[in-house]
Structure 1
Amino acid sequence: MLKNSGSRSILLVILVLIYGSCRQNAVDPASDESAYFPLQAGDFWIYQVTQETYSPTNPYTKRVFQIQEKITGTYTQKGQVFFQVEESRRSSDQAVWQLNALSTIYKNVSEVVSVTNNVPVITLLFPVAPTTEWNTNAYNASPDTLLRYRDSRQPFSLGKTTFNHTISVVGENDSTLVTLTKNRRVYALNVGLVYRENAALAYCQSSPDCIGKAQIESGTIQKWELLSSNRLP
C-alpha cells in the first residue's frame, strides 16, 4: 500500500508540472508590459511626419518629412541602464539625415522615462490598465499633464500593417465650439511607438457666419506614422 501511495504521489507531481508548463505556454504575449517600449542598442524607428499649420495672418501650410530615432549606446548609473537616443530629420528618402536632438531613456518595473535637455518626462507608467493615470511632468517643473491608457491590448492598423497587440496613451482630448485638443500615442508589442497624433486648434469666432462651424482659425496638427524599423517583422 505504501508503495502504491508513493507511485500515486509521484504521478500527481508529474501531472502538476505538466499543467504548470502548459499554463506558462498559454500566457498572453502582451503580459510583458515593458515590451510595448522595447529598448536595445542599435534599434531604430523611422516615421513619416505630416504637420499642418493654420494661421489667421499666414497661408495654410502642410509639410511632410521624416524623423528617425536610433539607440546609439547605453551606460549604467547607480544600477540603472540608460539608453542614448539620437533623433534625426530629413525632408525625403533621398535627403541626408540631420541630427535634430539627443535624449536618454530608461525603464524599470514601474515606468519608462525619457530625458531631453535635462527635462525628464514619464512616458509610460505600469501597470497598463484603464485605471492607471499619471502626470507626465511629475519629475520636472512644467505644468501637470495627465495621461491615461485607452484601447489596451487591441489591434491597430497602419496602412497595410496590422499590429495585433497595442496600447494607446491619451492626454487631454477635448473638443468644443471654440477649441480642439487631441493627444494620442500608440505602442505595439515588441515594436514600440507606431503612431502619434497631436492637435491644438482654435476655431473661428470673428463673425457670426463661422461661429459653431468648426472652421479652423489657428493651430497645428501633427501625425507620426511608422515607416520602417529593425523591429518590424
Structure 2
Amino acid sequence: MNKLFFIILLLFGLNSCRNKKDLTVPAKTEINYFSLKKGDYFLYDVKEKQYSTFSNTDSGYTLKVSYPETFNDAAGETSYKTYRSRKNEGSPDYQIRSVWTTKVKNFNYVIVNENNTPFLKLFYPLEENKIWNGNIYNSQGIENYTLINVGKPWGNFPVTVTVIQKNDTNLLRRDFRIEVYAKDLGLIYKETKAVKYSGNAQDFGKGIIVDGIVFKQSLLEHGNE
C-alpha cells in the first residue's frame, strides 16, 4: 500500500512540474531601436527647402546631435542632455542651435523633449500598425503615431522601424512627417513635408507649392567621443 501511494505521489509531482513548465511563457524579445550612452553623437545631412509667396529658399547643412552628459529628471530617472549643433556648407565649425533632452527606457519608451515640448517617439512593444498618442506628455492635442515596417530594411540598414507621425493630405495642403529608427542605433532618417498648394483656378489640383517646408535628415556618421 505504501509503495503504491509513493508511486502515485511521484507521478503527481512529475505531472505538476511539467504543467508548471508548460505555463512558463518566455519573455518577448525586443529589438533596441534607440541605443544610447553618454558621449554618443550622430551626424546628419540635412536638406531643407522653404516656400513662400515671394521666394523659395534651398539650404543644406550638417546637423550634429550629441549626448555629452546625463542628469536626473524630476522623476529621479536618467535623462540625456541633447546638444544640436549645425555646420553650414563651407563652414569649418559647428554652432550650437538648441539643447533638448532625451529619456530612454529600454523596451519601454523614448521621450524627446524638443524646446520644452516632450514627444513620445517610441512606445514598446513595437508591433506592426501599433498606434499611440505622441503628444501624451504635452498640451498640443492628440497626435496619433503609427508604427510600420517593423524589422524591415531601410537603405543600408537591415533592421528598422518607421514611425508615421502625420499623414494628412487634400487638394490644398500636405502634412507628412516620418522618422525611421535602426536596430541598436537610433534615428537614421527624418522627413517633414508641411506645405500648402495653390488654390488658383489655373493651378488647382496640380500640387503647386506656395508655402511651407520640405525637410529631409539622413544619417551620415555616428560614434562616441
What whole-Å deviation, never above 9, does each CA across 1:174-213 have from its counterpart, x for those lacking one?
Answer: 232211111111101112111100011111112x211111
Instruction: Give the structure 1 partner of residue 13 of structure 2.
Output: none
For residues 93 and 43 of structure 1, what CA distance do their matches in structure 2 show?
A: 25
CA RMSD of aligned residues (A): 2.0
Instruction: Decide whether the 8 Å contact of 2:111 with 2:120 is kept in 1.
Output: yes
Structure 1 residue 81, shift from structure 2 partner = 1.7
SS of 1:141's equivalent in the other structure is: coil
Structure 1 residue 103, shift from structure 2 partner = 1.8
Instruction: Decide whether the 8 Å contact of 1:195 with 1:226 is kept in 2.
Output: yes
SS of 1:172's equivalent in the other structure is: strand
Match of 2:121 among 120, 123, 131: 123
Instruction: Decide whether the 8 Å contact of 1:126 with 1:132 is kept in 2.
Output: no
Structure 1 residue 79, shift from structure 2 partner = 5.2
Larger radius of gyration: 2
SS of 2:166's equivalent in the other structure is: coil
Structure 1 residue 82, shift from structure 2 partner = 1.3
Contiguous gaps of at least 5 residues in structure 2: 1-25
Instruction: Give the structure 2 partner of residue 190 of structure 1.
Output: 184
Aligned pair count reads: 196
Instruction: Decide whether the 8 Å contact of 1:203 with 1:215 is kept in 2.
Output: yes
Structure 1 residue 94, shift from structure 2 partner = 4.1
For residues 113 and 50 of structure 2, what CA distance do their matches in structure 1 show?
A: 27
TM-score by length of structure 1 reads 0.78
Instruction: Give the structure 1 partner of residue 220 of structure 2.
Output: 227
Instruction: Give the structure 2 partner of residue 111 of structure 1.
Output: 109
Contiguous gaps of at least 5 residues in structure 1: 1-23
Structure 1 residue 226, shift from structure 2 partner = 0.8
Instruction: Decide whether the 8 Å contact of 2:30 with 2:125 is kept in 1.
Output: no
What whole-Å deviation, never above 9, does each CA across 1:135-171 have from its counterpart, x for those lacking one?
Answer: 11111111221111011110111xxxx1000000002
2:167 is equivalent to residue 169 of structure 1: no
Structure 1 residue 93, shift from structure 2 partner = 6.1
What whole-Å deviation, never above 9, does each CA across 1:98-143 have from its counterpart, x for those lacking one?
Answer: 1111122112242111123433221111111124211111111112
For residues 121 and 216 of structure 1, what CA distance do their matches in structure 2 show?
A: 28
Match of 1:63 among 31, 52, 59: 59
Instruction: Decide whether the 8 Å contact of 2:35 with 2:186 is kept in 1.
Output: yes
For residues 204 and 223 of structure 2, what CA distance do their matches in structure 1 show?
A: 48
Percent sequence identity is 26
Q: For 1:132, give the aligned amino acid.
A: K
For residues 93 and 41 of structure 1, what CA distance do their matches in structure 2 show?
A: 29
Instruction: Decide whether the 8 Å contact of 2:129 with 2:148 is kept in 1.
Output: no
Structure 1 residue 80, shift from structure 2 partner = 2.0
2:80 is equivalent to residue 83 of structure 1: yes
Instruction: Give the structure 2 partner of residue 154 of structure 1.
Output: 152
For residues 98 and 165 of structure 1, what CA distance do their matches in structure 2 show?
A: 32
